Amino acid sequence: MAKNRISAVFLTALFLILCGLWPVSACLLQGGTPEDTGENRTLAAYPELKNLRDLERFPAGFEAWLNDHMPAKTALVESQSALELGLFGEMAQDKVVFGTSRPWLFNRSEDGQPLETYKRTNLFSEEELDRISQNLSEMQQDFSDAGIRMVLMISPDKEQIYGDDYMPSSVAVLENEGRTEQLIGALRKMCPSLPVVYPAELLRKGREKEEVYYASDTHWNRIGACIACGALVDTLAEDTGSTWPGAEAFRERYHFSEKEKKAGDLQKLVRLGEEFDSTEYEAQEARTAEVSDVSEDVRGEVIRERSTNPEGLPLHVYLSGDSFRWNLTGFLQDSVSKSTITSRYYLDLEDVVSQEPDVFVYMIAERYLHELDRIPGYNTQALTY
């Protein structure tokens, strides 16, 4: 025991010494270029020092500059993370929950409160349920007036699918119904003609045979997206009179193979090393859709693309969704004869109506359900490109 304590103290002291020498030597040598911080912001500039007021602000400014421009910052932070995990089995952070089996991570950030949703502690009030239901009812009616059917799709949080398998027992779940069940129940009462697709049960069933979400990321992988797309097209096909094999048969159309390892968004959030990489899967079947009219934002992210596919169901689908749409896009394009898929943050109602789709799908991640009372592009101004 004493030997282990001495080793821990020695390693900690060594790390602190390296932390002190690393930035000093880097600045003296003037070597390298600033690393990408992984954050969507401008790097801090070197602080000016022209007068006494600048002198007061200099320490904080210098710290910000050094933090952004220190060479090999990512490697240093990953080393610190690995050291903390190796010595103490945990990290001093409040962004992720470490699963009971590595590399499984869960989202505990305040962005949408997914952990509180899993614990069923952040329930909607009756007023919130009424406001969301009323907004969706009005949106559905507006599309109906234009001859367009509307479907709401909720992408389940990973915690809802894998919490039973890998969530630590210290995270207690209440016995009451959760906010998603609250909302679905309210929608059935207030706008019963609005179809709601929430493929949690299919994904839980799928996880028994294969991975359906990335271990170190918040999103479903391509296998999970395939299952979710099958559930969506089940609903879309109801009014076409076309033969549709069903969600489970749709999954069996595709054969997936391991492609590579990738760093997940939760892994990047707390700078964990490659031992937390997730497996990427790829469908072996050739694509049947022809994609055109691809638009990107300033970061190169695809925010709109259209497709045609003579082999698909005779449906024109316009889907507006968040990042869960990325892995689902190819499967939907291969399923219907025509599609337009966009980011929900860039929703353009004029574009939707002008395309004259049969169905409009509004797709939203479960942790953002509270945003359904103020939808960008409908209640508020959307982003433009």
10-residue averages of pLDDT along the chain (385 residues): 55 54 49 48 66 63 64 48 46 80 95 96 98 98 98 99 97 97 98 97 97 98 98 88 83 95 95 94 92 90 95 96 97 97 97 97 98 97 85
State the pLDDT at residue 45.
74
288 φ/ψ angles, rounded to the nearest 5 degrees: -110, -15
Provide, for the chain, the percentages of residues in helix, strand and coil under a 3-state DSSP scheme, each rounded to the nearest 5: 45, 20, 35
209 φ/ψ angles, rounded to the nearest 5 degrees: -110, -25
State the pLDDT at residue 61.
64
Q: Any idea where the domains of the chain sit in the sequence? A: 106-200+216-254+287-373
DSSP string, 226-293: HHHHHHHHHHHGGGT------HHHHHHT--EEEEEEE--HHHHHTT--GGGPEEEEEE-SPP--EEEE
223-264 pLDDT, tens per residue?
999 999 999 999 999 867 777 888 889 999 999 999 999 999
Q: Give CA–CA dist 156/20, Å, rounded.
A: 44
State the pLDDT at residue 42.
60
State the pLDDT at residue 30.
45
State the pLDDT at residue 15.
53
pTM above 0.85, yes or no: no
State the pLDDT at residue 320.
98
